[in-house]
Amino acid sequence: MAKAAKGDSRAFALIYDRYAGKMNWYFLRMLGKDAEKARDFTQDLFVKLAEKPHLFDTGKKFSTWIYAVAHNMCKNEYRKQSIRHHVPGDDIGVEHKVSDKHAKDPAMEVDKSTFEKMLEIELNLLDENHRTAFLLRYKEEMSIKEIAEIMGSSEGTVKSRLFYTVKKLSEKLKAFEYN
Amino acid sequence: MNPDIEKIEHLLMAKSFNELSSAERELVLAHLSGASEYEHMRATISRVKTVFSAEAAGISPELDMKEAVLNRFEQNKPANTGILSKISSFFETLFPNPGVRFAGSIGLVIVLVITGIAFWPKNEEHVAYMKLPEMNEQTDKTKDSEVQQNQVEISTITPSKPDLILSEIAEEDILADQTEAESGAFAEDEAVEKNYPAEVPAAASESVPVYRNDDGYYQYSNTRTADADFKRNEVSDAVKVYDKKASPAGASKTKPAKKEEVAAPAPGKVELGSGIAQESSMGELKRIPVWPGMENETSEAYRGTLRKLEQYFKEELVSIQNKGNASYIYLKLELNFNTKGEVIKAKAKSEYITSETLQKIEKKAMLLPAFRFTSQSGDISTSQVYLLRIL
């Protein structure tokens, strides 16, 4: 990124190739699977980078920095639209009824796609801070320290958030485990 | 409870409950209800990772978006010419480590300022002295003749002037002001403000919104950050700083800084003790150190900042002569940049402070190095620089 900040187009293109897909996925997950919005956010992020590459702080690891920017974009979006509890697709209440039914009916076949669907629902029900920490840890495999930097929180807070998120998700999803 | 998720997580990835040692089981059971919960969590992490990997693999960078952002990048390429750019590159080569480069930059400024003060003329007139050649009774007539010709040699001694800081300010009018100053007139802390309105285009009149939180914090941002987040980030920053460096206030990781110690000042009102946090991101507000990474600023912003710093130091070096027993100076620079990164407005404010006030500051915050507070308002970004220089 330091090269890109000095005007190196190839370096900037490399950054795009390396991070555009990841950012798109992150926004997709953080913004309730709204593909159009995720695309717009990804483009906005890279346009910001293109226009003001000097804003990159070389004292930071680039991946940490770009996720911090993305995290702030999402926070601003949450403030604007209060999408925290938005669940795409079917009505959440209906989904939970299905969930109960699955849980009470061991004979019902639970496949991978059901697990994915329920994971999506449960992730969207999480507070954005818990969701961010969870995604960065289990998708990007970032360290606790990196996640803390991105979120502007202490490492202890991140550890605690992760622990309770995994615990909560496993409770919610245990009925949908598949082989 | 603050479970060490990294340890438990490592176990979840590596071992089934049956494979855990007794110590590991003890750790796990301190936080989980039993083997069943452990195995469910283990399965969840494993499956989630699988799902995420599959999802991410299906998303590839869009080519049309790439083309658009690359075009934008080409349009906004920073110019990389000029002497300051070269100086920047030189420093970058000399000190590849940003931390060392930062220390070097600060050190250079301090040395230049101190040198400027030390050698700046203090009311004394140019001194003329008479150099008498040694008389040698044994000299021949020729030598006597030479001595006669050179018997009185008058030299003018002009105090040294560091080129960077003082080369342009030795005009007579400035020196005249200096000599008119009342010696020892300064007794109280005193604020001085200077504006550079001639450089301000109409667009720069836009102001940056400022929010004052209930507990006295100030935010410079278009979008107000929730009070709760703001406080948390501020305190978190303070803890980070104090964790790394000894605090003059005696704060430490176990004794975090109080919120007053990290509060940012409101524009137009310098509050002593500001500018401590290392780096934080609060909504759209970015607060970052001034010097590290400056080599990556667009060259105009970099040059502009340096120019304004230089200009201000020059003026202060002159005016400080008027301040009698003033020992310290606290500077605040407010720089507005346009979208090209050019400085379009600079406002400088200083406070001459006594050693007593300095002690109060030192109890509150570390003011060196300086910090830059950047906020965005429309097309105008504003940076505020705070410096404390011991004169």
- Write phi, then psi, for B220 (nearest 5 degrees): -110, 100
Both A161 and A102 in one domain: the answer is yes
List the single residue in B with minimal CA-CA distance to A67.
B281
Confidence of residue B379 (pLDDT cuts 50, 70, 90): low
Both A77 and A106 in one domain: the answer is no
Both A154 and A106 in one domain: the answer is yes
Cβ distance of A42 and B65 shorter than 8 Å: yes
Q: How far apart are CA A88 and CA B330, in angstroms?
A: 54
pLDDT of residue B44: 87
Q: Confirm whether A87 is domain-assigned.
A: no
- For the beta carbon of residue B83, count every other beta carbon within 10 angstroms: 8
DSSP assignment of B282-330 equals: ETTEEEEESSTTGGGS-HHHHHHHHHHHHHHHHHHHHHGGGGTT--EEE
- Write phi, then psi, for B285 (nearest 5 degrees): -85, 125
Query: Is B253 part of the contact surface with chain A (CB cutoff 8 Å)?
Result: no
Both A14 and A60 in one domain: the answer is yes
Q: What is the pLDDT of residues B13-38, one digit of tens each?
A: 788 888 888 888 888 888 888 888 88
d(CA B281, nearest CA chain A) in Å: 7
Position of tokens 């709760």?
Answer: B228
Q: How far apart are CA A141 and CA B310, in angstroms?
A: 46
Query: Is A81 part of the contact surface with chain B (CB cutoff 8 Å)?
Result: no
Question: Is the pLDDT higher at B325 or at B123?
Answer: B325
Question: Is the pLDDT higher at B326 or at A75?
Answer: A75
Question: Is the pLDDT higher at B270 or at B217?
Answer: B217
3-class SS of residue B87: helix
Asked whether the predicted pLDDT for residue A59 surpasses 60, the reply is yes
Query: Is B159 part of the contact surface with chain A (CB cutoff 8 Å)?
Result: no
Q: Which of B2, B29, B38, B69 to mutate to test the interface with A (most CBs of A within 10 A)?
A: B69
pLDDT of residue B334: 55
Question: Is the pLDDT higher at A156 or at B284?
Answer: A156
Q: Confirm whether A112 is domain-assigned.
A: yes
Cβ distance of A53 and B73 shorter than 8 Å: yes
Both A40 and A74 in one domain: the answer is yes
Provide mean pLDDT across the span B251-255.
41
Q: Which domain holds residue A74?
A: 2-81
Q: Which residues 85-114 on chain A approach chain B with CB closer than 8 angstroms?
A: none
B78: left (phi over 0), alpha (psi -120 to 50) or beta: beta
Asked whether the predicted pLDDT for residue A29 surpasses 50, the reply is yes
List the single residue in A with minimal CA-CA distance to B54.
A139
Confidence of residue A163 (pLDDT cuts 50, 70, 90): confident
**Of A81, A102, A124, the domain-final residue:** A81
A159 vs B contacts (CB less than 8 Å): 2-6
Q: How far apart are CA B347 and CA B58, in angstroms?
A: 51
Confidence of residue B330 (pLDDT cuts 50, 70, 90): low
Q: What is the largest CA-CA distance in chain B?
A: 116
Provide mean pLDDT across the span B279-307.
38
**C-alpha B167: how far from chain center:** 25
The alpha carbon dihedral of A39, A44, A50, A54 has a sign of: negative
Q: Confirm whether B87 is domain-assigned.
A: no
Looking at the structure of chain A, the number of domains it has is 2
pLDDT of residue B249: 32
Select the highest-mean-pLDDT range: A9-13, A133-137, B349-353: A133-137
> Are B316 and B350 spatial neighbours (Cβ–Cβ below 8 Å)?
yes
Position of tokens 């703001």?
Answer: B230
Both B331 and B370 in one domain: the answer is yes
Question: Is the pLDDT higher at B181 or at B255?
Answer: B255
pLDDT of residue A73: 86
Q: Confirm whether A130 is domain-assigned.
A: yes
- For the beta carbon of residue A164, count every other beta carbon within 10 angstroms: 16
Both A96 and A172 in one domain: the answer is yes
Both A7 and A76 in one domain: the answer is yes
Q: Which domain holds residue B146?
A: 127-157
For residue B372, what is the enclosing H or E element? Answer: strand B371-377
Q: What is the pLDDT of residues B296-316, one digit of tens each?
A: 444 444 444 445 554 554 454
Query: Is A51 part of the contact surface with chain B (CB cutoff 8 Å)?
Result: yes
B69 vs A contacts (CB less than 8 Å): 16, 43, 46-47, 49-50
Both B321 and B379 in one domain: the answer is yes
Give the C-alpha distances (Å, rounded to integers) separating B87 from B294, B306, B372.
12, 11, 21
Q: Which of A166, A169, A179 to mutate to test the interface with B (most CBs of B within 10 A)?
A: A166
Q: CB-based contacts of A68: which residues, under 8 Å, 6+ apart? A: A60, A149, A150, A151, A152, B281
Both A103 and A52 in one domain: the answer is no
Query: Is A64 part of the contact surface with chain B (CB cutoff 8 Å)?
Result: no
Q: How far apart are CA A179 and CA A112, in angstroms?
A: 8
Asked whether the predicted pLDDT for residue B224 surpasses 60, the reply is no
Question: In the beta sheet, which residues pair with residue B192?
Answer: B350
Q: How far apart are CA B164 and CA B112, in angstroms?
A: 8
The two three-digit tokens of residue B228, written as one number: 């709760």
